[in-house]
């Protein structure tokens, strides 16, 4: 029986208790009289029968009215006041409270609101002082996160159980599986996830065993080297180092990843080149040697035979030269010494060059803005000094007016141009400049311009067109990695609102052999999700058109590990569904179907607790696809609707909008799957605190509490 109905029954009984007592007294008095006395009393009351009955009903009506009034003006408002006060206690931003009911109740509500405002002001002052005290620490933390995030190497930190505590963008790229049929990459990396999903456990255990052996034998370097392919297809050299606690006990490990795919390709090609040279030169060299030995051994050889041997030597030498030339041409890029080239944005390279020119007090040069998504691959110290040398040489040749620097994109290359108007420079002078050893501002390089260009695998030439008064030097370079608006690589680093790539609180968490039902809610990992559908009846053909989800680890929403996917329902999209969700038929064209998406979402939610608002609805859509796709969602499921109804049984509504308003949360992206999932996650974190106040701290207790509500009986 619902708590509200129990209270109503109790109030009704309390109101009618006086009437019951009165009737008991009357009947007791009646049975104390003898028969003649009873007859006399009846004769006296008989004329008043009508008035007595009316009086009785009036009395009962008054009692009922009083009971209802007490119920609506005192008991229910008091229960709502208690529930709102519980929310207010756990939500410092909430200062409003329901003020229905009797005037006294409204006055109490007003006092609660005043106390809440005072508490909020006090909390804000405390938070301000804490923020001021920790501002330097926060800056250092953000700088560290930024540095690690933007490293070219992959950095991955795990606790001893293999749970991921920190990772950077490069690791996210390396450990994402190759592009699947949905056109996206399956992400295997995430805070709290197991690294063994991406890297073989046997390989890491082998490395840790090697490190442990070195620790026990007091070696100088506690590390291990591995080379293995990663899910993205990258071949990586991995440097594994331990994180040591007290008494040199290993509490975790760090993996630094280097992409050696290109290096391996170079090594393979160089090996093939050497083999080709050996195979092609061995027979020719042997024939030449045999011919020469014959000529030396038989000095009296007649001219005809001598001429024959001369021809053999000449033919074999020509064949050898031809083979060497063809091999060099085929493998020419592997003959050059490759410098360690780094990616740098075109605009950054131009700004660095301009600053160096200002330091050297060279003439003012105009820098043309390049495409913000344009990147080059250079060793910037040698390259910038080469550009400074070229500009200095142009000034020496009295070309110092209207100089401009520009970087532009060709089909498969980038162009670095030094441009000017007016006076030309001859090809002979240009050849002398690029073959001269670089020396500028007291800095002598052991290379010429041409050698630096060669080491960048580039080309340089004098740019001059007939009838064009503009001269220039053009340098052709290899492009760096390509970026666009939707690509996170190479994006500017922001110290605020960064995605969560680390959580060192997990260092202290070890694998728990307990059943999930016995584990504290704060220690579990959750995937909070929502779906948008074509309608409300999955059993009769309605389909999912969008799934959105976020992860919660250590009571924190991981904004950097969101999941969102539109889905082609392979049926007509009703107008009503489009109006509610904002999703149109055109948006769904070309999107993957549910049989491609659901296995990916299943992997995303693996080994977590699923959370949704009105979860029975969303889970029904998923469960109807399980047999078709041969997968099972066996995760425990928590429902914020049921939990709210358990915590606040006297609230009239438990809709997501109402809960967001009650907890004073910003509800952005309502009726989008990801937007609703984020709001549901924020609500869920608030509910966890309220559950603990009611003695509900474990998953098993939360599941049991959910089943005690009326809403748990709703089926789809």
* Cα→Cα distances 12→66, 100, 120, 128, Å: 10, 22, 41, 52
Number of neighbours of residue 569 by Cβ within 10 angstroms: 22
What is the dihedral sign for C-alpha 679, 684, 685, 690?
positive
Which residue from 679, 685, 650 is spatially nearest to 98, judged by alpha carbons?
650
Phi-psi category of residue 444: left, alpha or beta, with phi > 0 → left and psi -120 to 50 → alpha? beta
* 410 Cβ neighbours under 8 A, 6+ residues apart: 476
CB 595 within 8 A of CB 562: no
Cβ(277)–Cβ(285) below 8 Å: no
* C-alpha to C-alpha distances, 314 to 289, 297, 300, 520, nearest whole angstrom: 12, 19, 21, 87
Q: How far apart are CA 184 and CA 181, in angstroms?
A: 8
5 is catalytic: no
3-state helix, strand, coil in the chain (%, to 5): 50, 20, 30
Burial of 611 (0-12, 13-18, 19+ CB in 10 A): buried
Tokens coding 268:
């393979």
Give me the catalytic one of 206, 266, 397, 671.
671
Evaluate whether 636 touches 610 at the Cβ level (below 8 Å). yes
Q: Which of 703, 689, 399 is nearest to 522 (CA)?
A: 689
CA distance 503 to 523: 13
Q: Which residues pair with 66 in a beta bridge?
A: none
Q: How far apart are CA 694 and CA 703, in angstroms?
A: 14
The string of DSSP codes covering 603-645 is: HHTTTSEEEETTHHHHHHHHHTTHHHHT----S-EEEHHHHHH
Distance CA 169, CA 185 (A): 14
Taking the CA atoms of 484, 485, 487 and 491 in sequence, report the sign of the dihedral they define.
positive
Residues taking part in catalysis? 671
């Amino acid at each position: 029986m619902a708590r509200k109905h129990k209270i109503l029954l109790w109030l009704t009984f309390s109101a009618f208790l006086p009437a019951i007592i009165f009737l008991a007294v009357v009947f007791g008095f009646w049975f104390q009289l003898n028969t003649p006395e009873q007859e006399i009393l009846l004769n006296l009351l008989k004329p008043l029968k009508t008035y007595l009955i009316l009086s009785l009903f009036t009395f009962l009506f008054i009692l009922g009215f009083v009971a209802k009034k007490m119920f609506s003006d005192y008991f229910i408002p008091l229960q709502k006041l208690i529930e709102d006060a519980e929310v207010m206690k756990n939500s410092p931003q909430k200062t409003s409270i329901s003020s229905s009911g009797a005037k006294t109740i409204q006055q109490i509500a007003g006092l609660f609101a005043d106390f809440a405002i005072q508490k909020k002001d006090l909390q804000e002052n405390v938070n301000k002082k804490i923020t001021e005290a920790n501002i330097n620490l926060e800056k250092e933390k953000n700088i560290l996160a930024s540095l690690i995030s933007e490293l070219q190497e992959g950095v991955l930190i795990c606790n001893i159980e293999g749970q991921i505590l920190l990772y950077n963008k490069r690791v996210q790229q390396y450990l994402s599986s190759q592009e699947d049929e949905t056109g996206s990459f399956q992400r295997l990396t995430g805070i709290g996830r197991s690294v063994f999903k991406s890297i073989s456990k046997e390989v890491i255990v082998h490395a840790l065993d090697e490190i442990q052996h070195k620790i026990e034998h007091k070696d100088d370097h506690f590390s291990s080297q591995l080379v293995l392919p990663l899910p993205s297809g990258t071949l990586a050299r991995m440097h594994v180092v331990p994180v040591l606690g007290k008494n040199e006990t290993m509490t975790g490990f760090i993996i630094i990843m280097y992409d050696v795919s290109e290096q391996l390709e170079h090594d393979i090609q160089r090996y093939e080149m050497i083999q080709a040279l050996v195979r092609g030169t061995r027979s020719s060299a042997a024939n030449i040697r045999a011919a020469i030995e014959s000529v030396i051994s038989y000095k009296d050889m007649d001219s005809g035979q001598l001429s024959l041997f001369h021809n053999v030597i000449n033919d074999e030498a020509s064949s050898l030269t031809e083979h060497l030339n063809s091999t060099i041409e085929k493998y020419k890029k592997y003959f050059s010494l490759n410098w360690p080239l780094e990616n740098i944005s075109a605009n950054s390279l131009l700004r660095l060059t301009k600053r160096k020119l200002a330091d050297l007090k060279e003439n003012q040069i105009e820098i043309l803005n390049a495409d913000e998504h344009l990147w080059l691959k250079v060793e910037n110290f040698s390259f910038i000094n080469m550009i400074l040398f070229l500009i200095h040489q142009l000034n020496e040749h009295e070309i110092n007016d209207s100089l401009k620097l520009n970087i532009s994109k060709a089909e498969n290359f980038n162009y670095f141009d030094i441009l000017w108007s007016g006076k030309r420079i001859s090809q002979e002078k240009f050849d002398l400049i690029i073959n001269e050893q670089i020396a500028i501002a007291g800095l002598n390089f052991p290379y010429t311009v041409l050698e630096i260009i060669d080491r960048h695998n580039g080309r340089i030439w004098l740019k001059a067109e007939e009838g064009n008064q503009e001269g220039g030097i053009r340098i052709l370079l290899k492009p760096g990695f390509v970026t666009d608006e939707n690509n996170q690589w190479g994006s500017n680093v922001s110290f605020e609102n960064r995605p969560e790539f680390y959580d060192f609180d997990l260092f202290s968490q070890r694998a728990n052999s307990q059943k999930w039902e016995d584990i504290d809610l704060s220690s579990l990992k959750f995937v909070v999700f929502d779906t948008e559908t074509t309608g409300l009846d999955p059993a009769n053909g309605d389909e999912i058109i969008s799934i959105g989800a976020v992860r919660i680890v250590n009571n924190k929403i991981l904004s950097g590990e969101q999941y969102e996917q539109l889905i082609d329902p392979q049926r007509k999209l009703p107008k009503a569904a489009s109006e509610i969700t904002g999703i149109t038929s055109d948006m769904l064209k070309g999107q993957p179907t549910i049989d491609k998406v659901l296995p990916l979402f299943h992997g995303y939610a693996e080994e977590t607790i699923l959370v949704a608002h009105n979860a029975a609805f969303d889970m029904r859509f998923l469960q109807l696809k399980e047999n078709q796709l041969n997968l099972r969602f066996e995760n425990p499921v928590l429902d914020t609707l049921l939990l709210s109804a358990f915590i606040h049984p006297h609230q009239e509504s438990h809709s997501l909008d109402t809960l967001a308003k009650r907890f004073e949360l910003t509800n952005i992206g309502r009726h989008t799957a990801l937007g609703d999932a984020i709001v549901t996650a924020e609500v869920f974190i608030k509910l966890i605190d309220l559950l603990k106040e009611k003695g509900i701290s474990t998953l098993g207790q939360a599941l049991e509490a959910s089943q005690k509500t009326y809403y748990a009986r709703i089926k789809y």
